[in-house]
Structure 1
Amino acid sequence: MMGKERIDVLLFNQGLASSREEAKRLIMAGLVYHGTEKVDKPGTKITMDAILTVKGALHPYVSRGGLKLAKAIEAFSLSFEDKIVLDVGASTGGFTDCALQHGACFVYSLDVGYGQLAWSLRTDQRVKVMERTNFRYADPDWFDPRPQIAVMDVSFISITKLFAKLKEILIPEAMIVTLVKPQFEAGVEAVAKGGIVRDKAIHLQVIQDVVQKARDVGWQANGITFSPIRGGDGNIEFLLWLTSQDGTSFPQITQKDITDVVELAHQLAQ
Structure 2
Amino acid sequence: MNSPRRRRLDAELVRRGLAASGEQARQLIDERAVTVNGAVAERAARAVLPGDALDVLRPPRFVGRGGEKLDGALTALGLEVRGRRCIDVGASTGGFTDCLLQRGAASVAAVDVGRAQLHERLLATPRVRNHAGVNVRHLQPGEVGGPADLVTVDLSFISLRVVMARLAALAAAGGDLLALVKPQFEAGRREAAAAKGVIRSPGVWRRTLTEVIAVAEAEGLAPQAVVLADPPGAEGNAEFFLHCTKPPAGDCAPPASALGGTVDAAVRAAASLGGLVV
- Which of 260, 265, 278 is the equivalent residue of 1:260? 265
Mean alpha-carbon deviation: is it higher for 251-260 or for 234-243? 251-260
Name the CA distance, whole Å, in 1 between partners of 2:243 and 2:144: 22
Aligned letter for 2:227? T
Report the counterpart of residue 76 of structure 1 in structure 2. 77
Shift of 1:152: 0.5
Report the counterpart of residue 216 of structure 1 in structure 2. 218
Aligned letter for 2:216? A
Report the counterpart of residue 85 of structure 1 in structure 2. 86
Alignment partner of 1:128: what SS?
Answer: strand
Structure 2 matches for 1:59-70, cutoff 5 A?
59-70=60-71
Name the CA distance, whole Å, in 2 between partners of 1:66 and 1:212: 27
Structure 2 matches for 1:200-211, cutoff 5 A?
200-211=202-213
Shift of 1:142: 1.3
Name the CA distance, whole Å, in 1 between partners of 2:216 and 2:252: 16
Quickly say closer, same or farther: Cα 1:213–1:146, change in 2 above 3 A: closer
Are 1:162 and 2:185 counterparts? no
Give structure 2 stretches of 5+ with no counterpart: 1-32, 45-56
Report the counterpart of residue 240 of structure 2 in structure 1. 238
Name the CA distance, whole Å, in 2 between partners of 1:195 and 1:171: 35
Aligned letter for 1:258? V
Quickly say closer, same or farther: Cα 1:254–1:58, change in 2 above 3 A: farther
Shift of 1:100: 0.5
Q: Do the aligned residues in 1 keep the contact of 2:63 with 2:93 (CA within 8 Å)?
A: yes
Alignment partner of 2:235: what SS?
Answer: coil
Q: Do the aligned residues in 2 keep the contact of 1:176 with 1:242 (CA within 8 Å)?
A: yes
Report the counterpart of residue 112 of structure 1 in structure 2. 113
- Which of 18, 25, 40 is the equivalent residue of 2:41? 18
Shift of 1:18: 2.4
Matched residue pairs, number?
227
Report the counterpart of residue 177 of structure 1 in structure 2. 178
Q: Do the aligned residues in 1 keep the contact of 2:222 with 2:253 (CA within 8 Å)?
A: no
Quickly say closer, same or farther: Cα 1:139–1:79, change in 2 above 3 A: same
Report the counterpart of residue 132 of structure 1 in structure 2. 133
Q: Do the aligned residues in 2 keep the contact of 1:194 with 1:233 (CA within 8 Å)?
A: no
Quickly say closer, same or farther: Cα 1:57–1:65, change in 2 above 3 A: farther
Quickly say closer, same or farther: Cα 1:20–1:245, change in 2 above 3 A: same
Q: Do the aligned residues in 2 keep the contact of 1:62 with 1:97 (CA within 8 Å)?
A: yes
Quickly say closer, same or farther: Cα 1:132–1:183, change in 2 above 3 A: same
Name the CA distance, whole Å, in 1 between partners of 2:153 and 2:59: 21
Q: Do the aligned residues in 1 keep the contact of 2:157 with 2:185 (CA within 8 Å)?
A: yes
Structure of greater relative contact order (alpha carbons < 8 Å, 6+ residues apart): 1
Aligned letter for 1:220? A
Name the CA distance, whole Å, in 2 between partners of 1:167 and 1:232: 26
Mean alpha-carbon deviation: is it higher for 111-120 or for 231-240? 231-240
Name the CA distance, whole Å, in 2 between partners of 1:199 and 1:81: 37
Name the CA distance, whole Å, in 1 between partners of 2:253 and 2:166: 22
Q: Do the aligned residues in 2 keep the contact of 1:152 with 1:177 (CA within 8 Å)?
A: yes
Are 1:198 and 2:221 counterparts? no
* Alignment TM-score, normalising by the size of structure 1: 0.77
Q: Do the aligned residues in 1 keep the contact of 2:107 with 2:127 (CA within 8 Å)?
A: yes
Aligned letter for 1:59? P
Q: Do the aligned residues in 2 keep the contact of 1:59 with 1:67 (CA within 8 Å)?
A: no
Aligned residues: CA RMSD: 2.7
- Per-residue CA deviation, residues 89-110 of structure 1 (Å, 9 max, x unaligned), is 0000000000000110100000
Are 1:150 and 2:151 counterparts? yes
